[in-house]
A = this chain, B = another copy of it.
Amino acid sequence: VRPVEPGRVYLVGAGPGDPELLTLRAAAVLAAADAVFHDRLVSEAVLATARRDAERVDVGHRAGSVRRELAEVAGWMATRARRGQVVARLKGGDPFVFGRGGEEVQALAALGVPCEVVPGVSSALAAPAAAGIPVSHRGLSRSIVIATGHDRDPAGRPAWATPTEATLVVLMGSARLPALAEDLIEAGWEPDTPAAVVMAATTPRQRQVCGRLGEIAERAAGARLGPPSVLVVGEVVSLAPLLAPAVAPSLALGLAPAAASPTGVAE
């Protein structure tokens, strides 16, 4: 086991929410950290695993809120690291999957602060899994595309091409879902492609709806799904009725049988 070193900033993937999905390395860093910087995508249960006397700093990062400057946060972390503290920078999921981890490493490097990146279980992959959806499956999906719903090109459309036989996973605030679904259909995705929205995956708040792309926004609204949510589009969603019960005992913590039944797909 490698030591956790003082004077260093650890950019740690906090995983999708379930504290048991933290890596051993992440748990070791949290057990040692004097200061924990986190955004709002990091679950309470994960934060609870940090040292009780550790300084906790919420640095925002919720969709729609004003984000504090990355450089400012890096400065705060650098100050503590230079005092000889162990600093943990917790990022929901994986730091390099739309977590701006690369930019934070750059900012810390510019300040001469040594850092370490600890990969985490990405919500982009674990959220579908928690709803019984394997992002790849022979015969149904040949590639996985991960994108964010906040990213649009100058024309206002999602910037990803339309792949064939792909599974599309979009990390998003649920407020964008109606426009996003429309954009995807306009970009060439069939409205009857199976789709699912998974909210707060792997936490006790997890809920999901399945259906078809053309109706998924309405279904998600009907079920009052909020952030953080992940949209999954592709034929693999049709496996959820079979696989959700199999993974349900632990992974799909909040899986209500009614919500799990993708009636729009099974019909």
A residues in contact (CB < 8 Å) with B: 1-2, 8, 13, 15-16, 18-25, 27-28, 94-103, 105-106, 108-109, 114-122, 125-126, 128-130, 133-138, 142-148, 151, 159-166, 236, 239, 242-243, 245-247, 249-251
Q: Which residue of B lies closest to A5 (CB)?
A: B249
**B116, B125, B134: the one within 8 Å of A250 (CB):** B116
Residue contact A243 to B22, C-beta cutoff 8 Å: no
**B97, B103, B162: the one within 8 Å of A135 (CB):** B97
Chain B nearest CB from A161 CB (Å) reads: 4
Q: Given A121-B120, A147-B143, A251-B116, decide whether A102 and B239 contact each other with a Cβ distance below 8 A.
A: yes
Q: Which residues from chain B contact A245 at a C-beta distance below 8 Å?
A: 109
- Count this chain's copies in the assembly: 2
Q: Which residues from chain B contact A97 at a C-beta distance below 8 Å?
A: 125, 135-136, 144
Chain B nearest CB from A2 CB (Å) reads: 6
Task: Give 26 A-B contacts (CB < 8 Å), ordered by A residue.
Answer: A15-B23, A19-B24, A22-B23, A23-B23, A94-B126, A96-B136, A97-B135, A99-B136, A102-B134, A102-B136, A102-B239, A105-B134, A105-B247, A114-B246, A115-B247, A119-B126, A119-B130, A121-B121, A136-B146, A143-B147, A143-B159, A143-B160, A145-B146, A145-B166, A146-B146, A161-B164
**B21, B23, B105: the one within 8 Å of A246 (CB):** B105
Given contacts A102-B137, A109-B243, 11 further A-B contacts (CB under 8 A): A94-B125, A95-B134, A96-B125, A102-B239, A109-B242, A116-B247, A116-B250, A117-B247, A136-B146, A142-B148, A144-B146
